[in-house]
Chain A
Amino acid sequence: MLSPTRDPAFGQRLGATLLLLALLAPTFALTGFNPFVLLRQDTWHVWLGFVAGFLPPAHDADFLAEVLRETVTTLASATQGLALAAAIGLPAALATSRALDAARLTAEPPSRWAETAKRSLRGLLVALRGVPEIVWALLFVRAVGLGSLPAVLAIGVAYGGMLGKVYAEILESQPAEPARALAASGAGRLARFAWATLPQALPELVSYSVYRWECAIRASAVMGFVGAGGIGQLIDTSLKMLNGGEVSTLLLVFLLLVALTEAISRLCRRALDSRAGIAGIAVATLAAVLGSWVWLRQGWPSDAFDLAALDHFAGEFFPPAHDAALLTSAGRGILETLAMSLLGSVLAFVGGALLAVPAAGRFGVMLKGLSRLLLNLLRGVPDLMWAALAVLAVGLGPAAGVLALTLHTAGVLGRLFAETLENAAPEPERALRAAGAGRFSAFAYGQLPQVLAQWIAYTLYRWENNIRIATVLGIVGAGGIGTQLYLALSLFQQQTAATLIIAMLLLSWAVETLSRVLRRRMES
């Protein structure tokens, strides 16, 4: 007779874990990630020396004035970038959304020409959002140079592609009757949008845009790593110079900025319930966009929008290089990127799960508060920033990338995991406890089965995201294909860069497809 506190499936669980580890072994080899390096004394020596330098945070007046200026620039770039994104995304959604198609609303047959145009517009949007915003920033720094303009354009273009898709989906999710009624009485596409679909979809559109604005601020804060201004530029410099005091001030300011934007976005969502609130949001948006325009404009060169030069710049990328040596090294870069993202996601799953249990309040209020704080910190610092820090801890190369992905993703997953734990029905576990099961078995049999599928789905989704991020971590020296891209662009080898960007796009497309198939299989 087994003791009731022992886990009867212990053997199976151990087997599955070992199998997973065996599958992961090649990723350890590819990334050179050795968890034991973290425990080595000399690593700690470098790391502790740097962290000790964090205190006290730098606070001389000149530095603080500069931090303030760059923080405003970061905020303004994000706002301006999102305004540009909306200016791209809204017309694109208006043009492509199936919700407004006459064919869907009336019996009119679709025009082949219009369908082709829509399909190519959708394809363009995919390309816009397929290239990570930091890569856009790298390109724009080369194309238009200097200051915050590249950051604005990068956010505008990448988020424009995203908004175009999501706006279209939001329009499609609205009840079709009002639009159909208008279409029946002969109203055109624009009129159907303005008088039927837009009023229905407005709160959701605004709410999603506000969420994107939050993301844009995080993105804008790391644009400086590629020379596109803002607070990231200061962080980059301070990190390179190993000036811990400045880094800690900058990180604190950054976290405050994130908290502030989260508060603003919560406020906006609440305001959406009333008409006055929506009007308030409109006024505030207008003021923010104008204000950021005025703030940023002074730093922009007067001839910034020199389209002839842009055209020439874009032309240099064609035809993409395809010599054997490049293709081999790009292949190696892709493999390394994949390994980084996979290992980082799996480790983050473990870390997230370990933190989620206390964060769900299972070990008292104290530990709940502490683990929540830790999760927020892990999640709040963007992956690229973690990567820049991780490079200090484990040296340059893919190992730093793994560490960065693990830390950031553990924060994201931990919070989601904790939420699923809190929402899971407590009865099965209670029943098991009452029947005499031990704490661990009761959790493993009463709670875990309820949440595990959800956890795996979240992790798969994050993995998809992490592959995209892993492609760019090389920009700060944390391995993967981004390292090669950064080097190629620094040396004006645009055709090589073009090949690498195509490789990145193919990779993220392949993963998106794979993950969609996997998730569909899990659902059925």
Chain B
Amino acid sequence: MNKLTATLASAALLLSAGTTFAQDVLRVSAIPDEAPTELARKFAPLGAYLEKETGLKVQFVPVTDYAGVVTALTSDKLDMAWLGGFTYVQAKERGKVIPLVQREEDTKFTSKFIANTASGVNSLKDLKGKSFAFGSASSTSGHLMPRFFLQKEGIKPETFFKNVAYSGAHDATVAWVASGKVDGGALNSSVWDKLVEGHKVDLTKVKVIGTTPPFYDYNWTVRGNLDPALVKKITAAFLKLDAKNPEQKNILELQRATRFVPTKPDNYRGIESAAREAGLLK
């Protein structure tokens, strides 16, 4: 009997070791708020940096589904993920997760409302009876917060617009508006600025018609049962990224961050109540 207990105990230990102690690979992913190729490009130098700092092999797992990232993180199939404010709240509701850091920019994030120049739309009110695209349904800055602020303006998307669509990603929303496939759309300001700076958007076809008030958005979150020492190491690695170091400057630029700052669950209370108010969280 004792022998059996001992065997079971050691088996349990081995199993838990598989998830907590014998960590030699850090499995990282990100919500697919941009094209997968772009996500991989953005992550490459950061991954190399984290490998150096943690001594672990960092593996980037591409996922094309927002909810898939949330599920994977809360069922321990990922160790760390870049989440939006809303996906973080979803993850928190479904399991134990710890938000570590966010970009300074994420503490006062905004979304842009855009319209096709040929549609004759100059303000949100002009979009009445037109077609409109959000990003992914699970997106904070591409869906939840624009919807929340629209509702504050007395606009209920499903009845106000002729058609409400979900493009799936921020850059896709811009492509849809530019092509005239939809008349207007909403997306994350950071991606919009990046597209404008990179001349990836034809400003004769798309224009900004509004900006939301600021809210807390994206963060890097780890699963709740990750080794605390490792969590500390990862946090420190993010926090000491410095734009004065040329190599790290590149990492920060790709992440579109001036620097990373610590974050905490309380920062996302606002998002959570917005989600409940918009009927996206029950």
Contact = CB atoms under 8 A, between A and B. Distances in A.
Nearest to A302: B18
B282 to A, nearest CB: 6
A145 B65 CA distance: 9
B163 A142 contact: no
Contact of B136 (A50, A141, A489, A490): A490
B104 interface: no
A241 B171 contact: yes
Given A477-B166, A491-B137, A491-B138, A46 B181 contact: yes
B264 interface: no
A226 B172 contact: no
A397 interface: yes
A227 B181 contact: no
A247 B68 CA distance: 25
A45 B282 CA distance: 42
Interface stretch (B72-80, B234-242, B250-258): B72-80
Given A240-B172, A241-B171, A492-B94, A392 B71 contact: no
B150 interface: no
B172 A241 contact: yes
B77 A146 contact: yes
Contacts of A392: 181
A427 interface: no
Contacts of B280: 491
Which one of B27, B64, B137, B167 has the greatest number of beta carbons of chain A within 10 Å?
A: B64
A142 to B, nearest CB: 5
Interface in A125-146: 141-143, 145-146
B18 A141 contact: no
B114 to A, nearest CB: 16
Contacts of A237: 35-37, 64
Contacts of A397: 163
A242 interface: yes
A306 B94 CA distance: 17
Nearest to A242: B175
A226 B168 CA distance: 11
Interface in A489-510: 489-493
A49 B179 contact: yes
B138 A490 contact: yes
B131 interface: yes
B65 A141 contact: yes
Contacts, number: 95
Interface in A463-505: 477, 486-487, 489-493
Interface string B119-150: 00000000000010000111000000000000
Interface residues of B, number: 43
Contact of B137 (A145, A227, A236, A487): A487
Contact of A145 (B68, B138, B182): B68
A241 B175 CA distance: 6
B282 A493 contact: yes
B175 A145 contact: no
B171 A395 contact: no
Interface string B38-74: 0000000000000000000000010111111011100
A81 interface: no
Contacts of B75: 145, 306, 309
B179 A50 contact: yes
Interface in B164-207: 165-169, 171-172, 175-176, 179-182
A224 interface: yes
A523 interface: no
A209 B138 CA distance: 39
A301 B136 contact: no
A145 B66 contact: no
Interface residues of A, number: 37
Contact residues of A: prevailing secondary structure: helix
Contact of A142 (B61, B67, B169): B67
A105 B165 CA distance: 59
B179 A490 contact: no
A42 B181 CA distance: 10
Interface string A448-463: 0000000000000000
A460 to B, nearest CB: 32
B180 A227 contact: no
A406 B86 CA distance: 38
Interface string A211-246: 000000000000010110000010011001110000
B146 to A, nearest CB: 16
Contact of A143 (B27, B66, B71): B71
A354 interface: no
A286 B136 CA distance: 41
A227 B63 contact: yes
B168 A240 contact: yes
Given A241-B172, A491-B280, A145 B72 contact: yes
B15 to A, nearest CB: 10
B90 interface: yes
B18 A303 contact: yes
B137 A490 contact: yes
Contacts of A49: 179
Which one of A141, A146, A309, A493 has the greatest number of beta carbons of chain B within 10 Å?
A: A146
Nearest to A496: B282
A396 interface: yes
Which one of A42, A236, A492 has the greatest number of beta carbons of chain B within 10 Å?
A: A492
A227 B29 CA distance: 14
Contact of A236 (B64, B77, B138, B175): B64
A396 B71 contact: no
A145 B180 contact: no
Contacts of B176: 242
B131 A395 contact: yes
Nearest to A477: B165
Which one of B67, B76, B137, B138 has the greatest number of beta carbons of chain A within 10 Å?
A: B67
Given A392-B181, A490-B136, A492-B90, 18 more contacts: A46-B181, A145-B63, A145-B71, A145-B72, A146-B77, A227-B68, A236-B168, A237-B35, A242-B175, A242-B176, A301-B27, A301-B77, A309-B75, A395-B131, A395-B182, A486-B137, A492-B70, A492-B93
By Cβ-Cβ distance, the 6 closest A-B pairs, closest first, are A227-B65, A145-B72, A240-B172, A227-B64, A396-B165, A490-B137
11 contacts: A42-B180, A46-B179, A46-B181, A50-B179, A227-B64, A237-B36, A241-B171, A242-B179, A303-B19, A395-B181, A397-B163
Interface of B: 18-19, 27, 35-37, 61, 63-68, 70-72, 75-77, 90, 93-94, 131, 136-138, 163, 165-169, 171-172, 175-176, 179-182, 280-282
